[in-house]
Amino acid sequence: MKGGENIEEVARRYTDLEPFGALDGWYTGCCPLPGHDDGGREQGFYIFPPGLFRCEECDRGGDASDLERLCGSYAELPAFGEESTNGSRNGHRDTEIRSSDLGDGVSDELISRFKTAKQATEEAPEQVPWRVRPYVAEGSITEIAGKIKASGKTTFVCRMVECILDGKPFMGQETKRTSVVYLTEQTPTSFAEALEDANLSEREDLHILYWHDMARASWPQIVASAVKKCNAEGAGVLVVDTLAVIAKLKGEDENNAGKAQEVMAPLKAAAAEGLSVIYTRHDRKSGGAVGESGRGSSAFGGDADQLILLKSPEGNQRPTVRTLETLGRFHETPARLVIELTDAGYISRGNDAAFAQKQAMSAILQTLPASQEHAMTTRGVIDALLEQGIKRWSVTAALEKMSEARTIMRVGRGVKGSPHRFYKPVPDDEILSSETTTPNRKKEFHNPEEPEGAIPSTGDRVDGSDGRSNERPAAPGRR
């Protein structure tokens, strides 16, 4: 191979190439590799950034030097370990780099692309161009991993897509409105339920391609077609759900770093077009931390800008609750968050400590007696809530906070013989019903986690009700 030649120059010596789709640096042609069945030399050979080739038919790939070795100049190399005419041994690269081997054209072009740190900073946007703040950015790749059939990856993505299509907040954070192209491994029957659950059934700005419609296309063809569809529809988001199935990885392919890089290359090219690329990936059976839990090679996550891990939280939690762990290139993205799926979509419940304390507060209100006579000790409350999977530290912190806010009442001096005991106040309506004279000003009790004047959320009300009033509405004209 001549010094400095790129993959396109090498490939054009052995086959005719033509541009492939709308992707910059992508070409296709008949496979020039030796041993490929002549009857099957169709347009299954591709070259693509960053300087790689791949033949879908004979299942071979590599870089420019690999292509030259297979097709030409390395065909007459001696066997491994034998000495060549220049004194080096095959199988061991000559590590001496000569300036004459570097070439001129490509080197000059690359040198002209270098920038100073100041230039790079000035050319970068002042703020991250979020598509879904702070998880999905424009021109980036986001991986969403989780246990197969258990973590709710598709549900999470579909709810996100719903918000993107309308430009409405997702988990309380802003989104930027755009159309979406969605590649799914599911059948129309099963995916219809996911669409209906996310209120997407009637959308005309969500463009879906099912797995059976992609069955005969290669992975590069699928991505190129998806990018072309995005351009035609003005869509700013491309979803691949799930990556391994749609990229047609077989057997041990997922564990092969080279295969992983080949799969990620088209997605990186799509992101370079300005698209927000989101793909899902299954966790391995043993699980693991974010960035390590995904099934197969770590090269997948290495090429992604944001890694998101969806999993069920520890303890006896509601089935709608998930923890969201993230690892990525943007400082704004929180490392860990507790979220919950509601009828209105996903909402943030804060970090683990905040969520645990809210749960403890709700459980305390449901557990404590309404009279001082039956007040429970700290130990009694802890034991009762431990049975519900609520940890000791969150119970003690919640008791302290609720006592200070007078959401619950604490009696006793907190010493031996006079331990702290807790009960919840008698509801206001019972106080009023028991009074026979003009009632005094009532003392109001509130959840310290709720803002002053706010209506307590269901399960957090002092009286244990669902927040609905039992009073009849006043007649028109009356207050």
- Give tens-digit pLDDT for 76-101: 434 434 444 444 444 434 434 444 44
Pair 142, 128: CB distance under 8 Å: no
Distances (CA, A) of 311 to 116, 190, 282, 308: 42, 22, 11, 10
Overall residue count recorded for the chain in this entry: 479
Contact yes or no for 44/216 (Cβ under 8 A): no
Q: Which of 291-300, 356-365, 468-477 has the lowest mean pLDDT?
A: 468-477
261 vs 289, more confident: 261
The DSSP secondary structure of 63-126, one letter per residue, reads EHHHHHHHHSTTTTPPPTT-B-TTS-BTTS---PPPGGGS-SHHHHHHHTT---HHHHHHHS-S
Element (H, E) at 282: strand 276-282
Residues 276-328: tens digit of each pLDDT? 999 999 987 777 777 677 777 888 988 999 999 999 887 667 889 999 999 99
Q: Give the tens place of pLDDT for each residue, 408-428.
A: 999 998 888 899 999 998 665
Give how far Cα 22 sits from Cα of 19, 141, 379, Å.
8, 19, 67
Domains of the chain: 1-75 (3.90.580.10), 130-350 (3.40.50.300), 352-469 (1.10.10.10)
| Contact by Cβ (8 Å): 322, 284 | no
Q: How confident is the model at residue 362 (pLDDT cuts 50, 70, 90)?
A: confident
Q: Which residues pair with 328 in a beta bridge?
A: 306
Give the DSSP H or E segment for 207: strand 206-210
Q: What is the pLDDT of residues 42-59, one digit of tens each?
A: 667 888 887 888 887 777
Strands of the sheet containing 60-63, edge to edge, are: 17-19, 27-29, 45-48, 52-55, 60-63
Q: Checking phi first, is residue 417 left (phi over 0); if not, alpha (psi -120 to 50) or beta?
A: left
Residue 457, classed as helix, strand or coil, is coil
Distance (Å, whole) CA 377 – CA 14: 84
Is residue 248 a contact partner of residue 44, using CB atoms and an 8 Å limit? no
pLDDT at 346 over 80: yes
